[in-house]
Every structure is written in structure tokens, then in C-alpha cells.
Structure 1
């Protein structure tokens, strides 16, 4: 068995072929793919009528572009030197892919909450995306470059310190570690901001299937139906409804025995197609309304198409053949506690899907409303959560040894983050120019 000393030596040895200071560099390769072409290629297998919504959302700002451009950044990171310190990557670890959700024990937790791109890869790819998103968000909020640098630096510094702390802990201690939602309260600097955080936590606790019942459904001819709100929420047609009923039973088989028993106590009521997110727009996504004991006992599940991770073409093959299985397994591995209804299956035309609860006390930060100090504190919390997630799947001892006790790594990534923030501005401008020229069609404001 490899000793902690051996693992630490491996981490320190990694510095020889990739010094920590080398992460500061960002220089686009001469054959860097056109970012709009990358997005168009990604959209070829998506619903074409929804792609204008995706481009419209991404064209709003550089930060909105960054959110939808995980494939662009994956290609950029793949062209750079990398470590061999592998973890289960989120694959899209920007600031808004962290948030609140309920554990099975009904505790409100803060953690990563989007795993569409999860895949095994070098730990620093997630950290770089987090740092870049902090810098882009800071600039978008009108913060000076020094404050943007501080936000990126803070996220990475906290990641390093948390990883070093976790490297000293036992396996179960790391596995059981989690971030309670109340950790958000000290981030508020003023009484007014604290009240807003408290209100956000209370709002998240109210975001349940029962609350969604009142917002998303209505009674039509004596039957409960999901409300139409085209193009964002549209009733499932007869073919889709029949397919959803069939794959519902297939999905059931991927749950554990006790959760299958629980799911069997609900009946299928209605389904609708739903547009979600920024980068995900155009993928096939549905919501399903189930009814338990009676009409006041609803359960909303979301069925989302799972394709290849944007990381797959740049990294060795992963352990999962089924894309839905990849997403579910990655989420279970990275989150401190996961949705009891997570599952996957293959749907019509051989497309892969995964299932989860639509609303389970979920909430996210209003990053656009954060001042410099608050954004810095929030970025630090995200860095803590990312380190905890990586420590569950990777060699935390080797990673901690690579990062070291000095701030070399965070200083380098702060430089990288500002450079990549500049690149994001250029890429966003390229998308806007493509929209203006009619190369792609954008539907703003949807």
C-alpha cells in the first residue's frame, strides 16, 4: 500500500514537469478553434428551434458567454500543459454552478450543483474555470482589475488551504465533510445584506415540489396539468408522453431497492418540455409531475438529456459508457449528499438521459448583486466546496503536496484568470459579431 509520504512525494515530483508558476500563462494557440464554430458544432445534435435562445442568453454579457462556453474553455485548457493529478472534474465549475440544495436528511447544503460535463481529468482544470469565472463576474459587476484578481486569488487560495487540511484527515472524515448553508451568513458584510441572505435561505427551503405545484400547474377540465409557457415550457406531445411513460419504468431500475419502493407509490400525471440553463439550452429536457398519496402530495422530476462531456475529446476514456450513468456517478462522487431520485436510462433513438428532482430546496447566489468583498467571500466558499469535492475522488495528499504551503499556485492562477477574462471578452464579441452578421440567430430576452 502506498504511504502518505509516497503520495506526497508524487505531488512534489509533479512540479518538475509542470511548475506551479507555469499555470499563470495564457496564450491562445495558433490553431485555436473559432469559439463560435465550437458552439455551432456542439449545437448540431440539439433541438434547432431552441438554439437561438441559447445564443441570445450567451450574448447578454461576457459572464453569460462564459457560462455557456464550457466546450470552448475545455479546448483551451487541453492545449495547455497539465498535471497528471486526476480527480473527478465537475467540468463546468463556474460560480453559478455552486448553490443550495437539500440533503436526503433535509439539511440545506452548499455544494456544486451541475454535473453535465463531469469527467475524470487534471484537478487544475476545474480550479482554472472557477478562477476565471470569479474574474469575469467581478469585472461585470464593475469591480476594478485589482478586485477581480483578488476574487480569483481568494477562490484558489481557499482551495489550496482546504485541500491541505483535508490531506491530513482520515478517509471517513473527508467523505462526511459538508458545507451547511448557514456558512453563507458570515459572508454578508452589512445587516441589509445579511437579511437578503437569510431571505434567500428561507426561499430555498420553500422551493419544494408542493410549491412548484402552485406555480407550474393548473386544473384543466378537472385534471391537473402543467401550465404552457412557450417556448420555455411546452406540453409533451403524444409521442413524447408515450416515450416518457416507458422510460420512467426503465429509470426506476437504476434506483436502489428502497427508492424504487418509494417511487412506486407515485403515479404519472403529466409531462412537459422545459428549457433550462444557458449552456444546456437545446438539449432535450422534460419535467414530469407525479402524484403520491393525493393531489397535495406531488413530486416533480426533471429528465435531462446527457451527451458526451465537453472534456471527453481531450482526455483518456472514462469508466462509464452511458452518458447518463456518467453524470449520475459523477454527482454522487462529488457532492457531499445527493438527490435520492438520481437515476439514468436510455430513451427513444438511443439518447441517454438522467433523472433528478426538479426542485428540492435548490437556490443560487445573486452574483451580479455582490460587491467586491462579498464576491471575494463567495468565491472563497466555492473554492472550499470544490476542494472538498476533488478530495473525495482524487489523491488529496498528492494534490496538497503539489500545491504546497506557499501561495505560488494562487498567484499564478490569479494571473491566468485575468488573462482568460480578456479572452472571454474577445470571444463574447465574436459571438455578438456572428449574430450581427447573421451567421447565427439569437433570440434575446427569453
Structure 2
């Protein structure tokens, strides 16, 4: 690919970036936390703001849609020249809770620039994705070289529970040849990535009971155990001594991606000095291609409220990430069976599988759309595209692939390891944002050809 398309598009992209930055800040100021009922009105206000931006960008048709009980989503159509493919550009406008405003260096819903990064909840995940799409459409003055359907969801951070209903109800409106999902990350601010694998996710709740009622630990302790200790012993069997997941029957894969610098990785995650990394293999293998188990919560008395009694019952929530190639239903059953088999002392155990499982997913990275993306992104970033995995789960990607089996799915993003998605001081590298916009504009030009 020559640099002629980039020379032609770069001025238009550069002209669109200041307005996109200003509108990104406007969106970040809206606390669209759909998972919190107190912010339902904010999420609706966020959807209306995105719809207004789409109209201003030249959309021929803009709709705010929702399934029964679901969050508002935005669909905007930008017709292309006859005979060109239709590209669906996906992002989401809902955000995670802040994790405690007091922990942020600057207020989470007041966008603040520091050292070339824009800080704020949603600045990267995923209002940057929303504005990257809109900046591209503005660069083309609302007349892209292909047909474009902009689809901005409103409940991705809640697991997209009503997305299947939306896709069924609006199937014709959303049908496309290529789907570009801007909800992933790059390994560095100047290295573009296409995500090709995602881990799955299952959760269970395990309850352990040993007594009909609390008992005095002095009078009965010794011959009688307590439910919390029994639960802890069961949870401890989920890993072996090296931190490998010990649940039988799970898929364990490998990644051929170059290993990461361990010191940088430890710094990005905030690992304390002396704390060991778990399991074996490269960091990409452990993060993307192996299962992982975490105890997400335990129902037990707070230390300040505890007494010298044997607890009669307690419970915990356990989450398990699944390697690509595994089956979520089978893996959830294996996790439940492991816990049932490892609760000691004859304690009664009940394991309840939680709904909302996410299947692991592997993207088909062949075909002309992927080839076009590799060329476009390499030119915009100045470095070749790397194909990466994600340790997290994005259930809607598999849903798109299932509902639109003929479409090529490209998973891109505007985050980097320092973006701290879902964490404190989430941020966006502004220079990378500009590269992402140029890359997507070049991609649409390539697809038109």
C-alpha cells in the first residue's frame, strides 16, 4: 500500500480531531453507569448525546433503540456509493463504576489532560471508541466511501444481556459485510493490534453449611468445625502449589506472541514487591490461553463484627476464565463438580451456576477485510499489526459472529496497557487516538477499493 491514501486522508483526520476531543470530554462528563440504577437517566442522556453527534456528522437516519428492560443504544446510517460494502462500526457508551471517586487523582467524570493522556471514566473504555468512529465519519464529511452503520450499545459493561434481542429485532438494520469493534487495546501506543482470541467466563456460587445455628467456639470448638474454614479449604484446592488451575477437564493452550517485560507487566497491574506470578509459560500464554480462577466475594462477618462463634454457613462467588477452544457450559459444570468434591468434613455444599456465561471466541483472521486492516493500521501507526489475545471476555463478539455469519469481524481498540480500563485513573493516550482514527479512515478507503 502506497502512502498516497494516508497523505490524502491525514489532513481531514487532523481537522476532525479537535472537535472529536471536545465531544469526547462532553461524553465523559456523563456518568452513564447502566449497571447502577441510580444512573439510568444518565445512560439515556448519554445515548441522546451520541445520537445528536451522529446527526451532526451527517447520518441519514438516526435511531435510539432498546430491547425490553435494556439500555438505550444508538443506530445511525451513512449510505455509501452503490455497489460498496456495508461496514458496521461498534462501540459502547456505558461505563464501569468508578471504584471510589476518592481514589482518583482527578475527578473521574471531569476529563483532565496530564502528560498527553486524557483521564476520566470512559475516556478509553469505550467513549474513545465512540468518538473514533464519529471522527472518521466527520473526516469523510458524512459521506464515507462505503456504507456505514454506526451501532453504539448501552449495556456492554453489564454483559450485554439484551443484545441478542436487539440483533434479532433489528437484524435487517444491522446486517453488514464487515464489523469493526472498537473495544479492545493495543500493546503499545504506537503498535496496532487486531484481537483474534478472547477467553470465556463462567461464575458459580458455592454455599457450605455445617450447623443449624451459630455455636460457642469455646464450648464446641475442636470436635466441631466451622463453615468458613471448610469453605476456605475447598477454595484453596482450585489451584496447585504453583498457581495452576486445578479444575480437571479444562482446555490449556499456548500463545506464540512475544513475551512481555515482567517488570512492566507488574507495574501495570500494581503487583506488590515479592508477590509471585502464578502458573507457568509466557505472560501472554498465562493471560490469554490458559484458564484462570478467582474468588470474587465471600459472605462472612466483617472482622469488626465477628464474635467467638462457629459459623453455621457461608458462601462465596467464584469466577473462572476459559481458554479459547473450551466450552463454557462444560467448564462451569467441571468447576461445580470440583467444589462439590473438595468441601471437607462432610459439610453440606450447594453449588449454583450463575447465568450469563460467555463462550471463549477465536476470530477468523483470514480474508480481504483482514488484509485491508493490516495494511491500513500499519500505515497509520508506522508499525506492523500484531495479532493478540485478550484475557477478558467480550460476549457480544461471539453473538455478532453467530447472528451475522457472513461478516468479517475485526476487533480493534483505542486503549493501551496504561489505560487502566475498569480501574482507577482510566486514561486515553491522545496521540494514539489520532492514529486510531487515521487507521479506521484508511480501512474504509481500502474496503471501498
Q: Same fold (TM over 0.5)?
A: no
TM-score for both structures, normalised by structure 1: 0.28
**RCO higher in structure (CA 8 A, sep ≥6):** 1
Structure (1/2) with the larger strand percentage = 2
Structure (1/2) with the larger helix percentage = 1
